[in-house]
Amino acid sequence: MAGYVSDAVIRRLPAYFRYLWTLESKGVKQISSKDLGESMGLTPSQIRQDINSFGGFGRQGYGYEVTELKNHLQKVLGVNQEHRMVIIGAGRIGQALAAYEGFPMVGFRPIAMFDVAAGRDEPGNLPLYPMQELEERLPDLDVSIAILAIPPAPAQEVMDRLYRLGIRAFWNFATVDLKCPGDAVVVNEHLSDSLGVLSYRMQQLGI
Amino acid sequence: MAGYVSDAVIRRLPAYFRYLWTLESKGVKQISSKDLGESMGLTPSQIRQDINSFGGFGRQGYGYEVTELKNHLQKVLGVNQEHRMVIIGAGRIGQALAAYEGFPMVGFRPIAMFDVAAGRDEPGNLPLYPMQELEERLPDLDVSIAILAIPPAPAQEVMDRLYRLGIRAFWNFATVDLKCPGDAVVVNEHLSDSLGVLSYRMQQLGI
């Protein structure tokens, strides 16, 4: 379907998908690489290069079919199916993720939470189980992704424990980079990186 | 100090900084572009190119001085100074950000929250003011960054209101891309983009 896709392009794919999804919901049928570039902060030639690299194509002087490209990207990203997720850690980050409204669009659904602290408030919308019951309950939950919303110290150990239970995909908010075996994937989330980008741009503008 | 730095490199800068900061705190004095590349998931030649582009330099057969490069990056990123932040929206995302522990390292400090709902729980560690008092209180708070942890519908209006009060930097969690005048900067945060990246990698591995 596509050749080598660089890491930088992979990181932009969800933004393309999100933007095309919005265009489609507004009834837009086609878009030029120029307009797409302006919205994405990229040059038209970068846009064409990106889209070629994941096997999408446009037509000279016409641009891209919004729905066609969106559907193609949906397959490339694997977001054309439901992904059931478990949230480990029912603290503030965990609870915020449990209630986050950006997920349904991309088919990701948190279905349960686990926490070491028994006295946690019920997050309201999801069942909350004690961490001791992880081994017993996880198989029945049929999840493919674990979100780690826990402190850095126990993070690697908890990840290994989930790996032994068959989880192969991790979204890690523990502010420490975790490593996983080659048959698993982890996306390490560092929210403060965005503040670095913001700060860089502030400095460029002399703010 | 540096020539043109591409958007992709800018997004990697905070990760470089974070990684060098960790190395320094472990007492590591120097690192080769090969080792740096392995930790960052980039080739040695990409590393050299990235670092050249922001004006850092290494020595053939020796690599990079960790502290020197970290300090240089700190200036490039503008994270060698304190940034005072206000959080708009004391819901779950806002409260999670108020308590987030990844900030102090990079000098960003949330100092107050505002919310339309008067009956919100006090987030504990920060003063919480009603939105009606924004105009009255903001000047005294001396903040340079506003974090928008509010629903998408009022987001642009709230941003414009903060802009009129002199705020020129925005970190936006409202799951809608906001635009700002040319003398201001906005980083639109879309947490679900990370799930897109995770999903892409899961598909590549057949998970």
State pLDDT tens for residues B33-48: 888 888 887 888 888 8
Residue B5 above 90 pLDDT? no
Q: How far apart are CA A160 and CA A138, in angstroms?
A: 14
For residue range A7-37, what is the model confidence (pLDDT) as tens digits? 778 888 998 998 898 899 999 999 998 888 8
- Mean pLDDT of all residues in B131-136: 96
What pLDDT, on a 0 to 100 scale, did the predictor assign at position B175? 86
User: Which of B163, B168, B200, B203 to probe by mutation at the A interface, max A CB count within 10 Å?
Assistant: B200
The whole-angstrom distance between A58's CA and the closest CA on chain B is 22
Q: How many CB pairs under 8 A join A and B?
A: 199
Cβ–Cβ of A93/B95 closer than 8 Å?
A: no
Task: Give the residue on A whose Cα is nearest the Cα of B77.
Answer: A200
Residue A124 above 70 pLDDT? no
Of B76, B102, B177, the CB nearest to A200: B76
Residue A126 above 80 pLDDT? yes
What pLDDT, on a 0 to 100 scale, did the predictor assign at position B3? 53
In order of A95, A119, A145, the CA distances from A123 in angstroms are 6, 12, 19
Among A78, A84, A67, smallest CA distance to A28 is for A67
Residue A2 above 50 pLDDT? no
Cβ–Cβ of A103/B14 closer than 8 Å?
A: no
Q: Residue B202 — very low, low, confident or very high, per pLDDT cuts 50/70/90? A: very high
- Exposed e or buried b per residue across A130-152, where buried means at least 16 C-beta atoms within 10 angstroms of its C-beta: ebeebeebbeeeebbbbbbbbeb
Residues 6+ apart with CB under 8 A from B34: B44
Least confident piece of the model among B55-64, B91-100, B176-185: B55-64
- Mean pLDDT of all residues in A143-148: 97
Distance of CA A177 to the CA centre of its chain: 16
Task: Give the residue on A whose Cα is nearest the Cα of B82.
Answer: A199
* Tokens found for residue B104: 């102090």
For residue range A156-168, what is the model confidence (pLDDT) as tens digits? 999 999 999 999 9
Among B143, B182, B72, B50, smallest CA distance to A204 is for B182
Q: Taking the model in full, what pTM does it have?
A: 0.88
Position with higher pLDDT, A52 vs A133: A133
The whole-angstrom distance between B58's CA and the closest CA on chain A is 22
Q: How far apart are CA B143 and CA B86, in angstroms?
A: 6
Q: How far apart are CA B131 and CA B116, in angstroms?
A: 5
Q: What are residue B188's DSSP bridge partners?
A: B172
Percent of chain A with pLDDT over 70: 93
Residue A102 above 80 pLDDT? no
- Mean pLDDT of all residues in B175-180: 88
What pLDDT, on a 0 to 100 scale, did the predictor assign at position B2? 45
- Mean pLDDT of all residues in A185-196: 91
ipTM at complex level: 0.90
Q: What are residue A148's DSSP bridge partners?
A: A88, A172
What pLDDT, on a 0 to 100 scale, did the predictor assign at position B142? 96
The whole-angstrom distance between B184's CA and the closest CA on chain A is 8
What pLDDT, on a 0 to 100 scale, did the predictor assign at position B58? 73
Task: Work out the mean pLDDT of chain A and round it to a whole number.
Answer: 88
Q: How far apart are CA B110 and CA A109, in angstroms?
A: 30
For residue range B50-87, what is the model confidence (pLDDT) as tens digits? 888 888 777 777 789 999 999 999 988 888 888 999 99
Rg, C-alpha atoms of chain A: 20
